[in-house]
Amino acid sequence: MADRADVLIVGGGVVGTSIAWALASRGVTGIVVVDLDLAGVYASSELNAGGVRATWWQPVNIQSCLATLDFFRDHAAALGFRNRGYLWLYSDPELYAQAIEKRRFQNDCGLAVELLSAPEVPERFPILDRGLEEIVGATFSPRDGLVNPNAVRAWYRTEAERLGVVFRNRHYVAGVVTQRVSGAAGSRRRVSAVDVIEVERGEVADTGGTVREILTTHRVPINKQAGETRISCDVVVNCLGAWSPIFSSKIGVADVTEAVRRQICLVDIHREDIAPGVSLDDLGMIVDASGLYFHPEGAHILAGFSVPDEAPGFDFGYDGDDFFETQIWQRLAHRSSSFERCGHVRGWAGLYAVTPDCSGIAGKVRSFDNLFEAHSFTGRGVMQSYAVGREMAALITTGRFEACDLSALTRERFEDPDRWVREELHI
Ligand SMILES: Cc1cc2nc3c(=O)[nH]c(=O)nc-3n(C[C@H](O)[C@H](O)[C@H](O)COP(=O)(O)OP(=O)(O)OC[C@H]3O[C@@H](n4cnc5c(N)ncnc54)[C@H](O)[C@@H]3O)c2cc1C
């Protein structure tokens, strides 16, 4: 296999794969995607909650999610898209007032967000029959919904491979080779090659061991290495998700992103506890005033809660029954009598790549001629993936964004707090 790429995408999660497909769709050839583990056992793309919505506060997040939702809707059967909406409950009057204010712009964008008074909540969603005295109001956004994130990533990859994109599995990005180039704009740097370590076949399948060890310690044990390769390239795109800052640090670029553990679990419901006439089947995502979020997932409920004081780090440890009992069960039972006797099935932990304003980073790295990046999408990477892929492909091939301007997501915004893309409605 040629150790050269016209475009080298490092990281084959949902974002890198979407960019690969979008570039290939524009006729770009010589695209290579490298990833330590294309099965994505510890990739956020495989570990998330599958919620997709455009109801954000920042225009760039609304527009990019809206374009992605439209794409999901057009491919609903293949991607498991279910257009069931998001219900968001508020107990803080100030926050609810802000939500009402932001709704104007959301609805100007075509989101048709409804306001529900507290008494209307159980009328529309009878599963919610407890603790309603503390609710000051709610919003329901009918265009939002749920998707199968694994199907989304697989779809991008299948289409990309059909157009000639090469995916190199079990390749760990270990080094970056740069050179200085002089031009009319003065002296600049470019990435001329990326060094990858191939990891022994079979070791990567050892999901509990080697992959986890490498992704938490950021080095490949010598006895697991099958060989090292230098891949020369014309263009590089950093799509390493929560690991992107490690790539940046190898070329002297400081990132503001932190990896933060997020846990979710599957919850078993006693069907006989659900009142007659109440159904879970048509429910979309419900975001409780407590910060708990949940939606039906097959025969179960998938529920998550982002522990506010979670320390940053590459931690995949799932707290098991303790997480379920202290963070999930109490909040579920507090909101619905149907959940009083619910049980813990299993759960997992993945990483949010969190920036100080809770919005992603996308664009060209200014100090480099040929380095682009799209990462740090906190809890929003799946729902932005189509638009980010399409717009990054436009930027790489034409030098500018097209249908959806992502320039607000440039890393340079962190130099000036007035340019931060502060997103409040994250979970
Ligand atoms: C619990 C949880 C719930 C979430 N819920 C939602 C949700 O409901 N909706 C939503 O839109 N988003 C959600 N997210 C966020 C979403 O999953 C991420 O934003 C998105 O998956 C990020 O995709 P990515 O491609 O940027 O990164 P990733 O999917 O993490 O991909 C990065 C890839 O880089 C590879 N890699 C890392 N280091 C190296 C290296 N040195 N060499 C080679 N390969 C390397 C990894 O193997 C991985 O495949 C959630 C996330 C979590 C953890």
Q: 207 pLDDT band (50/70/90 cuts)?
A: low
| Pair 411, 419: CB distance under 8 Å | no
CA distances 257 to 98, 169, 205, Å, are 27, 25, 29
CATH number assigned to the domain comprising residue 333: 3.30.9.10
Q: Which 3 state secondary structure label does DSSP give 374? A: strand
CA 195 to chain centre: 26
The chain-wide mean pLDDT, for the chain, equals 94
pLDDT at 122: 94
In a domain, 350, yes or no: yes
Which of the residue ranges 145-149, 242-246, 260-264, 277-281 would you say has the lowest mean pLDDT? 277-281
Based on the domain organization, do 162 and 113 belong to the same domain? Answer: no
Based on the domain organization, do 211 and 174 belong to the same domain? Answer: yes
Of residues 398, 399, 402, the one with CA closest to residue 388: 402
Q: 410 pLDDT band (50/70/90 cuts)?
A: very high
| Pair 257, 375: CB distance under 8 Å | yes
Based on the domain organization, do 208 and 242 belong to the same domain? Answer: yes
Based on the domain organization, do 176 and 226 belong to the same domain? Answer: yes
Q: Which among 325, 354, 383 is the end of a domain?
A: 354
d(CA 238, CA 320) in angstroms, rounded, equals: 33
| Pair 392, 21: CB distance under 8 Å | no
Q: Which among 308, 337, 354 is the end of a domain?
A: 354
In a domain, 113, yes or no: yes
Mean per-residue pLDDT, 211-215: 92
Instruction: Indicate if the pLDDT at residue 395 is higher than 80.
Output: yes
In the block, residue with structure tokens 């997709």: 52
In a domain, 310, yes or no: yes
In a domain, 111, yes or no: yes
Based on the domain organization, do 156 and 236 belong to the same domain? Answer: yes
Mean per-residue pLDDT, 342-370: 96
CA distances 178 to 3, 33, 132, 228, 309, Å, are 16, 19, 58, 18, 38
Percentage above 90 pLDDT, the chain: 89
In a domain, 424, yes or no: no
In a domain, 68, yes or no: no
d(CA 339, CA 294) in angstroms, rounded, equals: 12
Contacts of 70 (CB under 8 A, 6+ apart): none
Contacts of 20 (CB under 8 A, 6+ apart): 9, 12, 31, 33, 156, 157, 160, 165, 389
Contacts of 412 (CB under 8 A, 6+ apart): 366, 419
In a domain, 35, yes or no: yes
The number of distinct structural domains making up the chain is 2
pLDDT at 205: 58
CATH number assigned to the domain comprising residue 404: 3.50.50.60
In the block, residue with structure tokens 């380095």: 371
Q: 202 pLDDT band (50/70/90 cuts)?
A: low
pLDDT at 278: 83
> In degrees, to the nearest 5, what angle opens at C-alpha 382 toward C-alphas 412 and 351?
75
Based on the domain organization, do 368 and 411 belong to the same domain? Answer: yes
DSSP states of 312-357 as a string? Answer: BS------THHHIIIIIIHHHHHH-GGGTT-EEEEEEEEEEEE-TT
CB-defined site of ligand 1, < 6 Å: 11-16, 34-37, 40, 43-45, 47-52, 172-173, 239-243, 262, 264, 304, 350-352, 375, 377, 379-383
Q: How far is the CA of 405 from the centre of ligand 1 (A)?
A: 23
In ligand 1, the atom with minimum distance to the C-alpha of 239 is 26
d(CA 357, CA 67) in angstroms, rounded, equals: 22
Helices (H), ranges, 39-187? 59-74, 76-79, 93-108, 120-124, 149-162
Q: How far is the CA of 334 from the centre of ligand 1 (A)?
A: 31
Instruction: Indicate if the pLDDT at residue 299 is higher than 90.
Output: no
Q: How far is the CA of 251 from the centre of ligand 1 (A)?
A: 22
Contacts of 233 (CB under 8 A, 6+ apart): 4, 5, 6, 7, 8, 32, 191, 192, 193, 194, 370
Based on the domain organization, do 251 and 154 belong to the same domain? Answer: yes
Q: How far is the CA of 181 from the centre of ligand 1 (A)?
A: 33
Based on the domain organization, do 242 and 386 belong to the same domain? Answer: yes
Of residues 314, 309, 283, the one with CA closest to residue 121: 283
Task: For ligand 1, atom 16, name the residue with the nearest CA.
Answer: 381
Instruction: Specify the DSSP element, H or E, that contains 23.
Output: helix 14-25
What's the predicted TM-score (pTM) here?
A: 0.97
Q: Which among 337, 354, 371 is the end of a domain?
A: 354
Of residues 280, 276, 294, 264, the one with CA closest to residue 89: 294
Q: How far is the CA of 325 from the centre of ligand 1 (A)?
A: 26
Based on the domain organization, do 297 and 333 belong to the same domain? Answer: yes
Q: Across 103-253, where does the E strand assignment appear?
A: 114-116, 137-141, 145-146, 166-168, 171-183, 186-199, 225-238
Based on the domain organization, do 164 and 241 belong to the same domain? Answer: yes
Based on the domain organization, do 316 and 198 belong to the same domain? Answer: no
Phi-psi region of 112 (alpha: psi -120 to 50; beta: other; left: phi over 0): left
Domain span at 187: 4-47+150-257+358-419
How many other β-carbons are positioned within 10 Å of the β-carbon of residue 358? 22
Based on the domain organization, do 266 and 253 belong to the same domain? Answer: no
Task: For ligand 1, atom 19, name the residue with the nearest CA.
Answer: 381
